Structure 1
Amino acid sequence: MSFTLSRRQFLLSGTAALAAGALGTLPSWAQSANLRLIFWGGQARADRTYGVVDLFTKDHSDVSIDGEFLGWADYWPKVATQTAGGNQPDIIQMDYRYIGEYARRGSLASLDSFVGNGLDVSSFDEDQLRNGTIDGKLIGVSLGVAAGATVINTKVLDDAGIDIDPMRWTYDDLLTQGPKVSQKTNGATAMAPDGSGIELLFENWLRQKGKALYADGQPAFAPEDVTEWFELWAELRDAKAIISPDEQAIDTGQLETAPLVRGKSAMNFTTSNQLVAYQTLVPDPLGIGIFPATAPDSKGGHYRNSSQYFALSSTSAAPEKAVEFINFFVNSPEAAAILGVERGVPASSAMRDAVAPTLDERSQMVVKYIADLGEIAGDVPPTPPASAGEVEVALKTKSQEVAFGAQSPADAGPAFYDQVIESLGRAS
């Protein structure tokens, strides 16, 4: 699903659909710069983003900003198509899987010349600047600090008599206690979704085993690791600790289709900043915890990453104005109050201080979760190689083949590994 809203459309209508159909953008003669912005996310993120757009354009009458947002699965094909067609938006929300690839292809501009000259990163955490630096150039401005996390419907677990420590729970807990949710709900709800196709979860599991997804542009795991991963989820599936393949297939990557939102699972494996968005869609109280651990005291699986970045298109006709908006987005206390921690805990210490008094209970949970990771967290991995996005899609596809019985874990492990080798080789 795709929505495109200009600032004027957002202001004059209570719903995106009505505004898009009823209004156009302001006349071109009234604007000296008409910027385009694209990002992934749901309606809650869009509302916050367009709220900041409103603040910015209110004091910058010479700028209009047309925004477009899509779900994760639709977003990257759209960005790729626009890039190939020479029609990139000025400001592009980027993910760590893709930012290196787009930067090295010359699609994203270096921001170094703007630092101290329109872009203030003086209060940014050093690791957040490092995360957005590709080949020695600052390419992406971090929009928040986040980490892999499990969002939990605490009421469903309580009703099923499940008591787990959200910062120490394990795959064994999921296997032994998971069936209780299915039994309590007569099969209507499972404890967790099927995480076998989630790259971030797979990477977390590998890191707990002392391995990684990539090293020097090559896979840092073996075919037998993938087989073991698929076998783990097959055991959970057989125990009815996770949802069925049919239910998992409905999840398209948009929040509205997530099993947690549809009431089909008591959990969702995601990133910490998504707790806020999920709570807007789920009536029951939600909590947050780590991804399942391989053992209660396991460390190193998680890491504090940049949830996403704003990057500047190398073809932008108004780069100074685009950077001015990005700077406002990450450094204005008024913007921080609107954004909260939906995109992650602010990367700027000054903005963290500014937003802290405004946070609601769920937002405070996110901040506390990032702090509580403590020694559980390891180092941020290097920027993934080109085709990392392709590998992410391949894992999801292969996991579905295993879940539906089209391929055994023993065959799927080597098959997926070969796909990774082929994808990385093609990209290099």
Structure 2
Amino acid sequence: MSLRISRRQLMQGAAALAAFGATGLHSAFAQDARLRLIFWGGQARADRTFAVADLYSETHAGTAIEGEFLSWADYWPKLATQTAGGNAPDIVQMDYRYIGEYARRGTLAPLDGYVGERLNLDAFDADQLSNGTIDGQLYGISLGVAAGATVYNATALAEAGIEIAPMAWTYDDLLAKGREFAAATGGAMALSPDGSGIELLFENWLRQRGKALYADGEPAFEAADITQWFELWAELRAAGAIVSPDEQAVDTGALETSPLVRGKAAMNFTTSNQLVAYQTLVQDALGIAIYPAIAPGSTGGHYRNSSQYFSISARSAAADTAAEFIDFFVNTPEAAALLGVERGVPASSTMREAVTAELDERSQMAVKYISDLGAIAGPVPPTPPPAAGEIEVALKTKSQEVAFGAQSPADAGPQFFQQVVDTLGRAR
């Protein structure tokens, strides 16, 4: 955990710093008002977020901001504990899998009453407002537009003599080029991580086949689909196209532990906004591509999502101030310049225009990728049902059981499907 202090505090002599692993705590505080903010992400996101918090404190005398960041894997258990104890931070970063569940449990504050007075959303894209709306009420302010993406090590691929078509490559390419890449590197690096446990990738594969993860609170796929998914990755595993189960198990979800950053794979399946953060951790030049297509010309798998949201705790004693900070975060050109596109392309057209020309090369690539999706993209799926986050974790667990040989795809597929049915049933 680290404590970061604003420039004003440094001048006042009130600075402190402590480091404890992968979480961070930032303070930019004066005397009158206090806001607590929690989010997931790596150091690159934390640095940008805290810079905006510093800027806000310097321009809003009397406001204290304490910001804490954790890895994805650590974030949700901590937020659940804080929420259950009635001690959730004022501002919480939300994900599309969880926002519906938290909103419907009454733990998030509806934001409609702040729109127009403390929140100016006039320049926001309509789909980004819709993404944060649950049962007709606004609960989340989009922090950026993103889509599923493959971030790849362009330098490593070039050195191995491997080329992929960034907007048109397929799972057949992954298999064939994975074999070629393994031969070229002598097995020292695989082309791909093991994506069998990545929910976004599985959803993309389903959508290309005309199916989905969920519909009306029920699974919108069948046991045969998840079985075939596990079989696909078993074939890639046997061909040496993806990393070993041991290497994949090291990945906790933090960027730093990904096979791409550790030099064990030449790509990672992630979201478009993460290109910027990955480039800060990898010396080689990175590129961006779609998730593999199931066949040449396949469409509909991708969609423009909100990368994250800021929401306000229903029990916040400083909700008005929290709304004003969120407005500052998403609508101030100076804040937009500090944030770049690390959380995605700005949801506000005004902020996009303000920052695009000043973006670095990787940020420009992320913006272009969203634009290039074009006809490849399909509609945004409905808000996931309660327990979607639990199912995401279960997929990762089941995929590891298959990868390590504890279960065959034929056994694991029906078991996982029944687990999805049971989990959704309990959550109703």
What are the superposed Cα offsets for residues 291-334 of structure 1, whole Å, 9 maximum, x if unpaired? Answer: 00001200000000000000000011111111110000000000
Counterpart position of 1:98: 98
Corresponding position of 2:120: 120
The Cα shift of 1:55 comes to 0.5
SS at match of 1:268: strand
The alignment partner of 1:392 has SS state of helix
Tell me, yes or no, if the aligned pair for 2:192 and 2:243 is still in contact at 8 Å: yes
Distance 2:298 2:363 in 1: 26
Aligned equivalents of 1:399, 1:10: Cα separation in 2:
49
Gaps of 5+ in 2: none
Q: Secondary structure at the match of 1:277?
A: helix
SS in 2 for 1:414: helix
Matches within 5 A, 1:193-204: 193-204=193-204
Q: What is the Cα-based RMSD across aligned positions, in Å?
A: 1.8
Distance apart, 1:20 and its partner CA: 3.0
Deviation at 1:368, TM superposition (A): 0.3
> Could you tell me which amino acid in structure 2 is paired with residue 237 of structure 1?
R
- What's the counterpart of residue 354 of structure 2? 354
Equivalent residue, structure 2, for 1:168: 168
Could you tell me how far apart the structure 2 residues matched to 1:54 and 1:345 are? 22
SS in 2 for 1:183: helix
- Show structure 1 runs of 5+ residues with no match: none
TM-score (norm 2): 0.96
Residue identity in the other structure for 1:5:
L
How big is the shift at 1:248? 0.1
**Match of 2:385, SS?**
coil
Change (3 A) 1:321 1:185: same
Tell me if structure 1 keeps the 8 A contact 2:336–2:351: yes
Equivalents in 2 of 1:424, 1:96: separation in Å? 17
1:328 pairs with 2:367 = no
Pairwise mapping of residues 47-196 of structure 1 onto structure 2 (< 5 A)? 47-196=47-196
Measure, in 2, the Cα distance between the counterparts of 1:63 and 1:384: 35
Q: Structure 1 residue 7: deviation in Å? A: 4.0
CA 361–10 in structure 1, closer or farther in 2 if over 3 Å, else same: farther
Q: Give the secondary structure class of the aligned counterpart of 1:97.
A: helix
Contact 1:9 1:20 survives alignment (8 Å):
no
What's the offset of the Cα at 1:24? 9.7
**Which residue identity is paired with 1:388?**
A
- Partners of 1:206 and 1:304 lie apart in 2 by 16
State percent identity of aligned pairs. Answer: 71
Pairwise mapping of residues 356-375 of structure 1 onto structure 2 (< 5 A)? 356-375=356-375
1:382 aligned partner: 382
Give, in whole Å, the separation in 1 of the partners of 2:248 and 2:19.
34
User: TM-score normalised to the size of structure 1?
Assistant: 0.96
Partner-residue secondary structure (3-state), 2:151: strand
Task: Give, as a single letter, the amino acid of the residue that structure 2 aligns with 1:312.
Answer: I
Shift of 1:19: 1.4
Asked if 2 retains the 8 angstrom alpha-carbon contact of 1:12 and 1:19, the reply is: no
- Matched residue count: 421
1:5 is aligned, of 3, 6, 10, to 3
| Alpha-carbon distance in structure 1 between the residues aligned to 2:374 and 2:16 | 46
What are the superposed Cα offsets for residues 101-120 of structure 1, whole Å, 9 maximum, x if unpaired?
00000000000000001100
Deviation sequence 1:203-234 (CA, Å, 0-9, x none):
00000000000000100000000000000000
Detail structure 1 runs of 4+ shifted over 4 Å in the superposition. Answer: 9-13, 21-27
Amino acid paired to 2:158 = D
